Amino acid sequence: MEGRPVRLLSAVLLLLSTLVVSESTVRAFDVVLNAQGEFLDAYLANGSAVPPRVVFDDPDPADPGSLSVPPRGGRHLNGKLCFFPRRAGHRGQYLIADDTYREACLDSHPAQARCSVTRHRSPFFVGKDPDGWAVFKRSGTWTRQHIHTPWDFSSPQPQGNIDPQGCLFDAKARLFVNDVGHGAARDPDGSLIVFFPGRDKRYSTYCFIDKGLFAPGMPVMDDAGNVYVPEPAAGKITKFSPPFPARPADCDNPDHLVATPPTKTVFLPVPGRDTGGLTIPLSMVRVPKTDHWYIDGPILPAIINEYDRDGAFVRNIVPSGVPKNPIGMDVGSDGTLYYAELNLDPVTLDTRCGSMSMVKFDAGGQPHLPQTIGRTLQFPDGVTVVDSSRFAVDFTKLPPAVDLDPSACGGE
């Protein structure tokens, strides 16, 4: 008899835990993250016709000259967000490209007041890290860890620090990232880099896989472990196939360039095949439940198409001239395609007020016309769709994002 209340209590607790998990699952929704203007915005795909937009990371204090109220996050962020795999030992943490020290302390005149803070636990602490990738807790709080290649700040930024952007992890927990470089077509200095977790899981060692890429876009990986890197300044997508470096000894030279490079081929365009009108590939993302890809082109023309695993054109998703210079893309759990738009001036190609759009599909898989969900954005680039349950954040309590006056982002 004495054991029955214990068993009953255990059964009740098990039932309650099941209900809690079920409630959490029901309430979970897609969070569409977009880096723009050094902010990280979150669009909450919670069933509303137009997802509400909130501020997930605010890069700067309201008054950069004081240490009164710290911003949420307080980091200058760019590109795509990537969660560490379980074997990496970071317990649900994620990383994203970060250039806070340079933006807030070196390029700001005067430097922000928080640049003088040296206490690591202070919410105003910036650190002195070169441009690279910052590591965050599930709450959106910076862990004080930063992954980057070296820079002594006394000379122009070397390759690896020029313009960090994308990220991906492979099955061995290696971190692949890209540095866009200066974007010059005649003197390419974009890079593809791999960081190794190491025994301490700090990702402090690395190898350059390639240092001559043409303004490389954010890398993606297929199920076979091949890495695809758009090179818009060369009008192509490059496919890197294993083997990839496994340890620092694989690039034991002053340039940290891999001694045995992976196999390198052109994925798109395929000679003799129709490209569906796309000429300048910039971003790509997997089509759900297939081995196909959505690939966008920002100019000549601005377009989004679907391609098969061999780079053959399958169909058009967003017609030529409809998207406003698309850049980053990702796909939601229901198959919705989300993409950022630069909205370039058609004559000068200067950036204007950017936007975020989404494309829904009907029951037969046919795309609807795109719908704009965010306006007056400053150079929106990376897009990442994440289940809200992966964060320790109540998104409904985050402050709403404020639309800029068009004059503040280059006009519409």
Contact (Cβ atoms closer than 8 angstroms) between residue 331 and residue 337: yes
Categorise residue 410: left if φ over 0, alpha if ψ from -120 to 50, beta otherwise. left
131-164 in b/e form (b: 16+ CB < 10 A) is: bbbbbbeeebbbeebbbbbebeeeeebebbbbbb
**Residues 373, 53 contacting (CB under 8 angstroms):** yes
Distance CA 177, CA 198 (A): 17
Give the global pTM. 0.93
Give the pLDDT of residue 13.
38
Does domain 271-380 match CATH 1.10.1370.20?
A: no
CA Rg, the chain, in Å? 22
Task: Give residue 271's identity as a one-letter amino acid code.
Answer: P
Query: What residues does each domain of the chain span?
Result: 271-380
Strands of 263-268's sheet in order across:
220-221, 227-231, 236-241, 263-268
Contact call for residues 147 and 203 (beta carbons, < 8 A)? yes
Could you identify the residue written with the tokens 């997997």?
Answer: 286
Q: What is the pLDDT along the chain (412 residues), one digit of tens a residue?
A: 444 433 333 433 343 344 344 334 447 999 999 999 999 999 999 888 889 999 999 999 999 999 999 999 999 999 999 999 999 999 999 999 999 999 999 999 999 999 999 999 999 999 999 999 999 999 999 999 999 999 999 999 999 999 999 999 999 999 999 999 999 888 999 999 999 999 999 999 999 999 999 999 999 999 999 999 999 999 999 999 999 999 999 999 999 999 999 999 999 999 999 999 999 999 999 999 999 999 999 999 999 999 999 999 999 999 999 999 999 999 999 999 999 999 999 999 999 999 999 999 999 999 999 999 999 999 999 999 999 999 999 999 999 999 999 999 988 8
Burial degree of 240 (CB within 10 A; 0-12, 13-18, 19+): buried
What is the DSSP code (8-state) at residue 49? Answer: S
DSSP class per residue in 161-222: TSSEEEEEE-TT--EEEEE-TT--SSS--EEEEEEE-TTTT---EEEEEEEEESS----EE-
- What is the share, in percent, of the chain residues with pLDDT greater than 90? 90
Both ends of the chain: CA-CA distance in Å?
75
Strand partners, 190: 213
Q: For 380-404, what is each residue's pLDDT tens digit? A: 999 999 999 999 999 999 999 999 9
What is d(CA 340, CA 379) in angstroms, rounded to the nearest whole number? 9
Tokens 């809200």 belong to: 388
